[in-house]
Amino acid sequence: MHISEGILSPAVLIGGAAITAAGVAVGMRGLDQKEIPSIGILSAAFFVASLIHVPAGPVSVHLILNGLVGLILGWKAFPAILVGLALQALLFQFGGITTLGVNTLNMALPAVVCYCLFGWGTRSGTGRYAFIFAAFASGFCAVLMAGILVGLSLYLTGEAFLPAAKLVVAAHLPVMFVEGILTAACALFLRKVRPEILEVAHAPD
Amino acid sequence: MEKNDLIIHLTDICFSYPGSPPALDNLDLKLYKGDRIGLMGPNGSGKTSLFHIIMGLLKPSAGTIEIFNHPTVKEKDFRKVREKIGLLFQDADDQLFSPTVVEDVAFGPLNLGKSQDEAMDIARNTLNFLGLAGFEDRITYKLSGGEKKLVSLATVLAMEPEVLLLDEPTGGLDDRTKAALKDVLSNLDLSYILISHEIDFLADITNAIYTMEDGKILFDQELHVHQHVHAHPHGTYTHEHK
Amino acid sequence: MEKNDLIIHLTDICFSYPGSPPALDNLDLKLYKGDRIGLMGPNGSGKTSLFHIIMGLLKPSAGTIEIFNHPTVKEKDFRKVREKIGLLFQDADDQLFSPTVVEDVAFGPLNLGKSQDEAMDIARNTLNFLGLAGFEDRITYKLSGGEKKLVSLATVLAMEPEVLLLDEPTGGLDDRTKAALKDVLSNLDLSYILISHEIDFLADITNAIYTMEDGKILFDQELHVHQHVHAHPHGTYTHEHK
Amino acid sequence: MIEELSNGDSFIKRLDPRIKIVVVFLFSVVVAVSNQLPVLMLALALSLLIVLSAGVPTKEFLRRLIPVNMLIIFLWLFLPFTFAGKAAFFIGPLAVTHEGVLYATRITIKSNAMMLMLIALVASTPIFTMGHAMHELGIPKKIVHLFFFTYRYIHVMHREYARLLNSMKIRGFRPKTSLHTYKTFAYMVGMLLVRSFDRAQRVHNAMLCRGFKGNLYSLSKFSIKRRDVVSLVCMLTAIILLGVMEWKKTI
Ligand SMILES: Nc1ncnc2c1ncn2[C@@H]1O[C@H](COP(=O)(O)OP(=O)(O)OP(=O)(O)O)[C@@H](O)[C@H]1O
Ligand SMILES: Nc1ncnc2c1ncn2[C@@H]1O[C@H](COP(=O)(O)OP(=O)(O)OP(=O)(O)O)[C@@H](O)[C@H]1O
Ligand SMILES: [Mg+2]
Ligand SMILES: [Mg+2]
């Protein structure tokens, strides 16, 4: 969920941009030229995911996949998601210039947190059930946290946003389950077909 | 021919991709039961687009499509068509997306409402038929070019279609795999349309060759047979001569 | 032949992808100045891998590579090699990554240190030479299959290489484009190695055909010329006969 | 298909892209912190003027304003009731406050003004030119690089997605709320990733073969001409004026 231009207060915008800048700096540290194509792939996947709609009961939701991006990229999720969102703003006018920082933070921070919490589970040598649990939890929690952060961004802008913020979080609930299942199945696919993708330690040491 | 032998009947089909000149331009086509048609034509003449129109993956801007004597217009009509007509994509990579071969072959039957066990049985039988026994648990992504083509064909045949549309099935294949594919196709009791740039291959396994040019099919062709000088190295690398 | 006419000299090259059986197995190869070698072989016999080894994109696990009489081992050595040997990739989509044709063709010259104006000039001239004048501002990913191949060739030729490695340049091309490509290649004053599954094509524009099998090149081949019966439709769709 | 918005020739199209980016950025920042209704109205008028002079068809930019205004409409359902202030009137038991309506109005104007300006920028500047301009403006090379790669792969991936979707369709697949559906989509995303990873590797190899050493070159030369300086001065004056008006009234 992108927050559009003109809604958030300057304090929230500046705070978001500052934390994102720090996150991107960490993500870019020690990043080798050779890795840029594979990170670009994940940015593109994040972008294209937002165009893929899957049914969830009576409605259809689009994929977010920030949990999967986090599992694969670690801290490099920050630059990857930043670029993906910048292109969404330029091509579709989703989000915008001043909100780029906040929107990146809302998506990328959960990705990194999930990487720290569940990243162990998707490396080699994990049992099948632990693996599925870690991947599911990652997809699930990344969306949950993103929803909470979007709500929080609105709430911090003004008390009056509280009901809207609550509804935003609630709207993320069905998406969480879809993302959890999809992330788990997708990680299983990768583990079977191309385990190196999950192994590559993209996180900075 | 009998009217109810007419399987595919396209009239005056026009189609263009957004912002491009027409890819198909007042095209007519009839396929009768038992026909085996070869289709050649320069790159970009609209061969692939024609197949996608028949399957309802692209919507024509004008013209009518009748399949099995039913006008076919809406997505709902095409769902039925796709149960009876199988399409082999030009690029085998476009066709396979499951991790293992057997899952990919069973995908179609599952969508047709078969149970898990039935679908698995169908998948195994189809693989056996194509000489791919033992491939069940291979990772589709890691198959060689030739194996991918054959597995793609298996995914299509598993749906037990009555007609096949084959889009350059021999592209990038070595002569051995080509010969294997030729065998399979001539043993199938199906009608098909086959796109290829290789006239020798078409001449062997089709009973009519049409050419396409600028979005139209040209029918005013005759099949000529004539001598052709041909060079190749002899040795371990086999090459077929008829 | 003179020793300093030896351009590419591979000895006992072994290579395998992680977790797979060897793709190249004690392979030897010599390319002299002026040689035009055709290479055929079944899918997965290691043809593409061989080209990638020569360009330093894959590192052999054993064996030596000498190019222009210099042992070539490190990435730094290969940088020089890449200025003199041009590789046309099997899949044109891998080769083109810039938004417009002219930018893609000028990319190589710019990397070689040419100024923007020089690079633009080279790009224009190369496109003209290949009959692609007017393609400058076309969007690369919207080109047809045949056009992509020719533009890819332009990106390679713009670097003014002394040797070309062509990986299935005719894949998926119609006869017209093939003929155009044949013309271009026979007019080039370059040495090259050309991979193709089409023996007729190879016989026309190479002076030796090697076959590859299981990661080895087989040299014990002779070129035979013999009669071959061949059918095709006459009409607007032209087909070359020599 | 993902298409860039691009328009025929216009004065704005020929401006140096660096100038355009700087102007749009400063404009967005000033509007984002403004709160005076008259200032916001002026900003909206200015942005409308610019988007029209960039030659963007009215239908096109209205269509592109839809996603922004979806969220705005959602907020209109809440803000008039939840914003503390004097009740203007009642809808049933709910009090609509004067301040709430004003606040929602301000947000609406702000959003649309900023978006129009962004649309004018995008419509008059190809994405690749924008990347090169950002590089010139001091964005780190690696980020710009990532930006280029991502842009290129979006098209490749989106096309491969469309093809895999076709493959699913011709085999009778119909998305439902079911495990089979989710598994199928997950496989498709996985296949997209795997294939794209390998393609990324091959594209990088192709670049190495053409002497790539990590440097970016642009064929479009940027040069500041007189019309650029004039436009920059005019726009900066307008933006500063907006800023001053805002600041004067709030003090
Ligand atoms: N997705 C697309 N978007 C825009 N134009 C397209 C697209 N796909 C094909 N085209 C164009 O439509 C025309 C017909 O394409 P089509 O793929 O049907 O040709 P084809 O006969 O199958 O060629 P080939 O022998 O190269 O496979 C071509 O000019 C092509 O450039
Ligand atoms: N990236 C890769 N990872 C693992 N194995 C690979 C990879 N690329 C190729 N192989 C394997 O290495 C072997 C040689 O492949 P290569 O691509 O060199 O064959 P080829 O002769 O070019 O075949 P084709 O005619 O299909 O292009 C094959 O068995 C192939 O499956
Ligand atoms: Mg085609
Ligand atoms: Mg190959």
Domain residue ranges in chain D: 3-125+223-250, 141-209
State mean pLDDT over C56-66: 94
- Strand order of the β-sheet with B36-40 is B85-88, B163-167, B191-195, B36-40, B208-213, B216-218
Q: How far apart are the first and last CA of chain B?
A: 32
**pLDDT confidence band for A51 (50 / 70 / 90):** very high
Please check the confidence at residue D1 and state whether its pLDDT lies above 60.
no
Determine, yes or no, domain membership for A5.
Answer: no
Please check the confidence at residue A141 and state whether its pLDDT lies above 90.
yes
Asked whether the beta carbons of C97 and D152 are under 8 A apart, the reply is yes
User: In a 10 Å sphere around its CB, with 0-12 CB exposed, 13-18 middle and 19+ buried, how is residue C174 labelled?
Assistant: buried
Predicted confidence at residue C242, as pLDDT, reads 36
Distance, CA of D50 to CA of B49 (rounded, Å): 41
State mean pLDDT over B6-13: 94
CB of C17 within 8 Å of a chain D CB? The answer is: no
The two three-digit tokens of residue D203, written as one number: 């594209």
Determine, yes or no, domain membership for A76.
Answer: yes
Q: Is B63 left (phi over 0), alpha (psi -120 to 50) or beta?
A: left
Among D164, D180, D188, whose Cβ lies nearest the Cβ of B110? D180
Distance, CA of A179 to CA of D139 (rounded, Å): 33
Determine, yes or no, domain membership for A204.
Answer: no
Determine, yes or no, domain membership for A2.
Answer: no
Please check the confidence at residue A74 and state whether its pLDDT lies above 80.
yes
Angle at C193 between CA C187 and CA C196, to 5 degrees: 95
Domains of chain C by start residue, with CATH = 3-227 (3.40.50.300)
Neighbours of A59 (CB within 10 A): 11
The two three-digit tokens of residue A190, written as one number: 């990768």
State mean pLDDT over B215-236: 55
Distance, CA of B87 to CA of B56 (rounded, Å): 11
Q: How far apart are the first and last CA of chain C?
A: 32
Distance, CA of D113 to CA of D46 (rounded, Å): 8
Predicted confidence at residue A182, as pLDDT, reads 95
Distance from the B97 Cα atom to the nearest Cα atom in chain D, whole angstroms: 6
Q: How far apart are the first and last CA of chain A?
A: 31
Chain D interface test: which of C81, C85, C111 (most D C-beta within 10 Å):
C111
Pick the range with the lowest mean pLDDT from A192-201, C6-15, C78-87, C98-107.
Answer: A192-201
Q: Do C97 and D199 touch (CB under 8 A)?
A: no
For the residues of C179-195, what is the DSSP string, one character each? HHHHHHHHH---EEEEE
Q: Do B44 and C176 touch (CB under 8 A)?
A: no
CA atoms within 13 A on the CB side of B107: 30
Q: Regarding predicted confidence, which is higher, A123 or A204?
A: A123
CB of B53 within 8 Å of a chain D CB? The answer is: no
CB of A194 within 8 Å of a chain B CB? The answer is: yes
The two three-digit tokens of residue D220, written as one number: 């479009």
Predicted confidence at residue D56, as pLDDT, reads 87
Predicted confidence at residue B55, as pLDDT, reads 94
State mean pLDDT over B51-55: 95
**pLDDT confidence band for B221 (50 / 70 / 90):** low
State mean pLDDT over D18-40: 92
E strand map for chain A: 53-56, 59-62
Nearest-CA neighbor of A41 among D45, D156, C66, C102? D156
Q: Using a 6 Å cutoff on CB, does residue B47 contact ligand 1?
A: yes
Number of domains in chain A: 1
Distance, CA of B161 to CA of B191 (rounded, Å): 10
Predicted confidence at residue B220, as pLDDT, reads 56
Distance, CA of A173 to CA of A171 (rounded, Å): 6
**pLDDT confidence band for D7 (50 / 70 / 90):** low
Mutate to test the pocket of ligand 1, among B16, B43, B196, B202 (most ligand atoms within 8 A of CB): B43
Please check the confidence at residue C225 and state whether its pLDDT lies above 50.
no
Q: Do B141 and A189 touch (CB under 8 A)?
A: no
- pLDDT tens-digit map of B154-185: 999 999 999 999 999 988 888 888 888 898 89
- pLDDT tens-digit map of D120-144: 998 888 888 888 899 989 999 899 9
Determine, yes or no, domain membership for A131.
Answer: yes
**pLDDT confidence band for B230 (50 / 70 / 90):** very low
- Which residues lie with the beta carbon below 6 Å from any ligand 2 atom? B 144-145; C 17, 20, 23, 41, 43-49, 90
**pLDDT confidence band for D68 (50 / 70 / 90):** confident
Residues of chain D with a CB closer than 8 angstroms to some CB in chain B: 1, 160, 163-164, 166-174, 180, 184, 187-188, 190-191, 194-195
DSSP state of C232: E
Predicted confidence at residue B31, as pLDDT, reads 94
Distance from the C5 Cα atom to the nearest Cα atom in chain B, whole angstroms: 26
User: In a 10 Å sphere around its CB, with 0-12 CB exposed, 13-18 middle and 19+ buried, how is residue C204 labelled?
Assistant: middle
Predicted confidence at residue A203, as pLDDT, reads 43
Pick the range with the lowest mean pLDDT from A109-113, B87-91, D5-9, D47-51.
Answer: D5-9
Identify the domain containing residue A52 by its residue range.
10-199
**pLDDT confidence band for C50 (50 / 70 / 90):** very high
Predicted confidence at residue B227, as pLDDT, reads 42
Chain C interface test: which of D210, D218, D220, D222 (most C C-beta within 10 Å):
D210
Please check the confidence at residue C236 and state whether its pLDDT lies above 80.
no
Please check the confidence at residue C237 and state whether its pLDDT lies above 50.
no
State mean pLDDT over A86-92: 93
Predicted confidence at residue A131, as pLDDT, reads 93
Distance, CA of D232 to CA of D16 (rounded, Å): 10
The sign one gets for the Cα dihedral B143, B148, B151, B155 is positive
Please check the confidence at residue B223 and state whether its pLDDT lies above 70.
no
Pick the range with the lowest mean pLDDT from A76-80, A88-92, D201-205.
Answer: D201-205
Closest ligand to B167 CA?
3
Predicted confidence at residue C221, as pLDDT, reads 55
DSSP state of C64: E
Among C222, C224, C233, whose Cβ lies nearest the Cβ of B221? C233
The two three-digit tokens of residue C183, written as one number: 């013309």
- pLDDT tens-digit map of B85-110: 999 998 888 889 899 999 999 999 99
Mutate to test the pocket of ligand 1, among B15, B16, B17, B29 (most ligand atoms within 8 A of CB): B17
Instruction: Write out chain D residues lying below 8 Å of A97, CB-based.
Output: 24-25, 28, 114, 118
D163: nearest CA in chain B? B94
Determine, yes or no, domain membership for A3.
Answer: no
Q: How far is CA C47 from CA B132, B231, C168, in A?
A: 25, 21, 10
Q: Do B139 and A189 touch (CB under 8 A)?
A: no
- pLDDT tens-digit map of B180-207: 889 889 888 899 999 998 888 899 899 8
Please check the confidence at residue B231 and state whether its pLDDT lies above 60.
no
CB of B160 within 8 Å of a chain D CB? The answer is: no
The sign one gets for the Cα dihedral A117, A118, A124, A130 is positive
Pick the range with the lowest mean pLDDT from B130-139, C144-153, D86-95.
Answer: D86-95
Predicted confidence at residue C166, as pLDDT, reads 95
The sign one gets for the Cα dihedral C171, C175, C176, C182 is positive
Distance, CA of D31 to CA of D20 (rounded, Å): 16
Distance C211 CA to ligand 4 centre (A): 13
Distance, CA of C188 to CA of C167 (rounded, Å): 17
Predicted confidence at residue D106, as pLDDT, reads 93
- pLDDT tens-digit map of B74-84: 999 999 999 99
CA-atom Rg of chain D in angstroms: 23
State mean pLDDT over D195-207: 86
Determine, yes or no, domain membership for A25.
Answer: yes
Say what percent of chain A tops pLDDT 70. 97
Ion ligand 4 residue ranges (Cβ < 5 Å): C 47-48, 90
Strands C163-167 and B222-234 turn out to be: unpaired
Please check the confidence at residue C202 and state whether its pLDDT lies above 50.
yes
- Strand order of the β-sheet with C208-213 is C85-88, C163-167, C191-195, C36-40, C208-213, C216-218
CA atoms within 13 A on the CB side of C163: 27
Q: Regarding predicted confidence, which is higher, A139 or D85?
A: A139
Single-letter amino acid, residue B121: D
Q: How far apart are the first and last CA of chain D?
A: 49
Determine, yes or no, domain membership for A21.
Answer: yes
B116: nearest CA in chain D? D180
Single-letter amino acid, residue B127: L
**Cβ-based neighbours of C212, under 8 Å, separated by 6 or more:** C39, C40, C41, C45, C46, C47, C50, C218
Pick the range with the lowest mean pLDDT from A138-152, B57-71, C179-193, D217-231.
Answer: D217-231
Neighbours of C211 (CB within 10 A): 22
B55: nearest CA in chain D? D170
State mean pLDDT over A140-166: 93
Chain B interface test: which of D161, D169, D170, D180 (most B C-beta within 10 Å):
D170
Distance from the C216 Cα atom to the nearest Cα atom in chain D, whole angstroms: 24
Predicted confidence at residue C59, as pLDDT, reads 93
Distance from the D193 Cα atom to the nearest Cα atom in chain C, whole angstroms: 16
Query: SS in 3 state form for B106-161?
Result: HHHHHHCCCCHHHHHHHHHHHHHHCCCCCCCCCEHHHCCHHHHHHHHHHHHHCCCC
Predicted confidence at residue B91, as pLDDT, reads 85
Distance, CA of D73 to CA of D78 (rounded, Å): 9
Distance B60 CA to ligand 1 centre (A): 15
User: In a 10 Å sphere around its CB, with 0-12 CB exposed, 13-18 middle and 19+ buried, how is residue A200 labelled?
Assistant: middle
Predicted confidence at residue B232, as pLDDT, reads 46
Predicted confidence at residue C231, as pLDDT, reads 45
Interface chains of chain D (3 or more CB pairs under 8 Å): A, B, C
For the residues of D207-231, what is the DSSP string, one character each? HHHTT--S----SSPP---HHHHHH
Distance, CA of B188 to CA of B156 (rounded, Å): 13
Please check the confidence at residue B240 and state whether its pLDDT lies above 50.
no
**Cβ-based neighbours of B7, under 8 Å, separated by 6 or more:** B31, B32, B33, B35, B67, B68, B162, B163, B191
Distance, CA of A181 to CA of A184 (rounded, Å): 5
